[in-house]
Amino acid sequence: MSKGLQGVTGIENLDLKNKRVFIRCDFNVPMENGNITDDTRITATWPTIDYALKQGADVILGSHLGRPKKSEDHKKFSLEPVAEYLRDKYGHEIILVDDPESDAPKALIAGLKKNQIIMLENLRFSAGEEKNSHEFAAQLSSYIDVYINDAFGASHRAHASVSELPRLMPIRGAGFLIQKELAMLDKLLESPRLPYWVIMGGAKVSDKIGVIEKLIDKVDGFIIGGAMAYTFLKAMGVEVGHSLVEREKIEFTGELIKRVKARGKKILLPIDHRVSQSIKSSEVITTPNEKIPDGFLGLDIGPQTEKLFCTELLSAKTVFWNGPMGVFENPKMCQGTFAIAKALSGLEADTIVGGGDTASAAKASGFADMLTHISTGGGASLEYLQGDPLPGIDSLRKGKRGE
């Protein structure tokens, strides 16, 4: 069993027949004009939903979507497109309940037919969700028998449906997606095959410090790209023009580089860049070396850096990748990120992608299906790797109230 799942019961070990089973899903999916643009999180949790149905359970699904702040946001952040997607893809009738705190769910469950699934409207429409309200959790618990968490991407949030609700339920467990996520991340912590490389990108060094420090003694090296690379380069005295730099982290980053090298580990930084005078400019040039001239900002690693990074990865047996190499959403600035995805796709290695923007980038590259695992939780995966407790997992363990 995964170390992270000690004391947690898997859904396959629970009796679900004729039980009212609440499955906390992560349907926080990207949308444009009401259309789902990436269904990864939905399809990833369907095996858990399907299993519960086949075991004879009455299924109630709950999730959040986005960050609604006022009632005017309700239409924008409704789960109705997700309900329609599930109906069209899997052929079940999805009954969307507008108010999870009303008596409607209890009444609907009593007459639920075999092909029907209840879905609660966006849980963040209820004020008690983000407050981790006992009252809101108690209301949800009043019409369910079994609680299953399969929302890895929300498990680092101490919210009512993730943290307080399972503590009220004597019968609770983890879905198949949660089990897979933690097994993959535990492999990075406990039993990685060597050589082991960590690729870090994205905007902020501060978001990645905990993971770097946790893995510094386990890895063979770090590859640093994306905007966070400019803070690293600045710490080494390299001019980075107008690139994004976390100035309050420059001194710390310099010390971090020394600590990595003192342990005999490698740290690779960009040796050239794709730059422009603004993020909106259509004119992109490539620098001849690691320096970025005044008036320009780095927006992607350059072709020499791609070759350096990808060559080093050829011998890797384990790779963890979190953070794109540049502004991959722009076709002129996606080459570096896509080159990394292509390189990883050709390795005979455990290649694990840490959710969020990196997952979107991997999918956009066309190589996602050739990677070992793409996490559905960016923030949750980082917090787990750096050793922070995840409320959504801890609340599933035996002896946490409920029993």
> For 231-289, what is each residue's pLDDT tens digit?
999 999 999 999 999 999 999 999 999 999 999 999 999 999 999 999 888 899 999 99
Per the rule left: phi > 0, alpha: psi between -120 and 50, beta: everything else, 206 is alpha
- CATH superfamily of the domain spanning 3-179: Phosphoglycerate kinase, N-terminal domain (3.40.50.1260)
Q: What is the pLDDT of residues 204-229, one digit of tens each?
A: 888 888 899 999 999 999 999 999 99
CATH 3.40.50.1260 boundaries in the chain: 3-179, 192-383
| Cis-peptide into 195, omega within 30 deg | yes
Residue 402 has pLDDT above 70, yes or no: no
pLDDT for residue 340 is more than 90: yes
Specify whether the CB–CB gap between 297 and 278 falls below 8 A.
yes
Clarify whether 193 is annotated catalytic. no
Contact in structure between 80 and 27 (CB atoms under 8 Å): no
Confidence of residue 33 (pLDDT cuts 50, 70, 90): confident
Q: How far apart are CA 353 and CA 375, in angstroms?
A: 6
- Catalytic residue from among 87, 131, 204, 400: 204
Q: Are 160 and 166 in contact (CB under 8 A)?
A: no
Q: Is 89 a catalytic residue?
A: no
Return the bridge partners of 222, or none.
Answer: 198, 267
What integer pLDDT is reported at residue 70 of this predicted model?
A: 82
Least confident of 56-60, 310-314, 316-320, 386-390: 386-390
The rounded radius of gyration (Å) of the Cα atoms in the chain is 23
- In the residue annotation, 41 being an active-site residue is answered as yes
Catalytic option among 19, 20, 24, 41: 41
**What would the pLDDT profile of 127-168 be if each residue is shown by its tens digit?**
999 999 999 999 999 999 999 999 999 999 999 999 999 999
Please indicate whether residue 356 is annotated as part of the active site.
yes
- The predicted model scores a pTM of 0.91
Contact 24, 63 (CB under 8 A): yes
350 pLDDT higher than 70: yes
The tokens for 217 are 């003694």
- Whether 116 contacts 60, CB under 8 Å: no
CA–CA dist 81, 36 (Å, integer): 7
CATH classification (class only), 192-383:
alpha beta
| Average pLDDT value for the chain | 94
User: Residue 16: is its pLDDT beyond 90?
Assistant: yes
Q: Are 290 and 272 in contact (CB under 8 A)?
A: yes
For residue 25, CA distances in Å to 34, 125, 239, 400 come to 19, 16, 45, 21
User: Which residue in this structure is represented by tokens 């429409």?
Assistant: 125
- The catalytic residue among 210, 379, 397, 400 is 379
CB atoms within 10 A of CB 191: 9
Give the residue among 177, 156, 151 at the shortest CA–CA distance from 25: 151
Max Cα separation, the chain? 69
Torsion of CA 132, 143, 403, 154, to 10 degrees: -40
The candidate with the shortest Cα–Cα distance to 321, out of 307, 309, 335, 334, is: 309
Tell whether the model's pLDDT for residue 179 goes beyond 60. yes
pLDDT exceeds cutoff 70 at 328: yes
Work out the angle between the directed axes of helices 40-54 and 176-190 (0-180°, nearest 10).
Answer: 120
